[in-house]
């Protein structure tokens, strides 16, 4: 489903944000939409760059089971990769620096003034219906579904909850030591890289020995060792969405497979 607002509404919002003096303007673009071509994506990026955003995110369209696109059994994986590469090259040619698979930043952008945050060890609190949160050893969330009838029911139940209902997480996953190491590896590899010295200080082991999958990623040329850090290569960067699941444990894969889609 396409977003309902016409382009004029988006441009008016961007103009208002720029006029407000907000120091960092972020624009999100989606690629992989049915009928989209490298040419039409280039037009969208060009239109976005007229506002000189400090950050541009390129998000792939995901086809989920039980959605309208998923039920149509259409796949655009090859097309999406071609679109990603075209969008990446366009942004790089305009002087943007690639920070992650999705994020591109203009070099003149102001540096963030927030306190240092380390996703591998610091927690995150998600607010709102369907939000996910985690601590070092716990992942938890509100109820979640894909199909419209179930989603509406979840929203109605959420709006009807009392304050006391929010004191307890009803859907959660406790991480044992193996899951802690795997989550650390995923978050590190997909962020700034896996610092081998930091890993040894936390877990007392060599991650490549601990997780055979990291050795496979090195062999595939998807990650490389730069000094004491394991980082994604360009080839690995564009396949970031596959690398995370590749590092899942058998336990997590089994739980995901057993989850009843709603």
Domain spans of the chain, in order of start: 7-105, 177-255
Q: Which residues contact 11 (CB under 8 A, 6 or more apart)?
A: 47
N-terminal to C-terminal alpha carbon distance within the chain = 19
Q: Which helix (H) or strand (E) holds 199?
A: helix 196-203
What would the two tokens of residue 147 be? 């199909």
Tens digit of each residue's pLDDT (9 = 90 or more) over 36-62: 899 999 999 999 999 999 999 999 887
Q: Pairing state of beta strands 26-31 and 55-60?
A: parallel
Tens digit of each residue's pLDDT (9 = 90 or more) over 74-122: 555 678 888 999 999 999 999 999 988 999 999 887 776 666 777 777 8
132-134 sheet: strands from edge to edge: 132-134, 138-141, 171-174
What would the two tokens of residue 57 be? 């995110």
3-state secondary structure of 59: strand
- Decide whether 7-105 matches 177-255 in CATH topology: no
The pTM for the full model equals 0.79
Q: Pairing state of beta strands 229-232 and 132-134?
A: unpaired
> Which CATH number is 7-105's, of 1.25.40, 1.10.1040, 3.40.190, 3.30.750?
3.30.750
Q: Which fold has domain 177-255?
A: Arc Repressor Mutant, subunit A (1.10.10)
């Amino acid at each position: 489903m396409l977003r309902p607002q016409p382009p004029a509404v988006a441009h008016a919002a961007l103009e208002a944000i720029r006029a407000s003096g907000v120091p960092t303007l972020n624009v999100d673009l989606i690629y992989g939409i049915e009928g989209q071509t490298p040419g039409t994506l280039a037009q969208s990026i060009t239109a976005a760059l007229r506002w000189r955003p400090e950050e541009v995110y390129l998000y792939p369209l995901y086809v989920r089971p039980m959605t309208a696109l998923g039920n149509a059994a259409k796949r655009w994986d090859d097309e999406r990769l071609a679109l990603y590469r075209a969008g990446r090259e366009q942004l790089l040619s305009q002087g943007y620096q690639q920070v992650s698979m999705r994020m591109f930043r203009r070099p003149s952008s102001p540096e963030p003034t927030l306190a240092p945050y380390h996703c591998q060890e610091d927690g995150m609190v998600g607010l709102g219906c369907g939000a996910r949160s985690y601590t070092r050893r716990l992942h938890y969330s509100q109820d979640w579904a894909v199909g419209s009838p179930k989603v509406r029911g979840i929203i109605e139940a959420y709006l009807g909850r009392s304050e006391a209902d929010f004191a307890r997480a009803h859907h959660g996953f406790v991480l044992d030591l193996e899951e802690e190491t795997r989550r650390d590896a995923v978050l590190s590899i997909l962020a700034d890289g896996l610092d081998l010295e930091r890993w040894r200080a936390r877990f007392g082991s060599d991650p490549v020995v601990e997780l055979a999958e990291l050795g496979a990623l090195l062999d595939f040329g998807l990650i490389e060792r730069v000094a004491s850090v394991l980082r994604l290569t360009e080839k690995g960067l564009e396949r970031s969405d596959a690398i995370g699941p590749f590092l899942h444990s058998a336990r997590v894969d089994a739980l995901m497979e057993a989850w009843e889609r709603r």
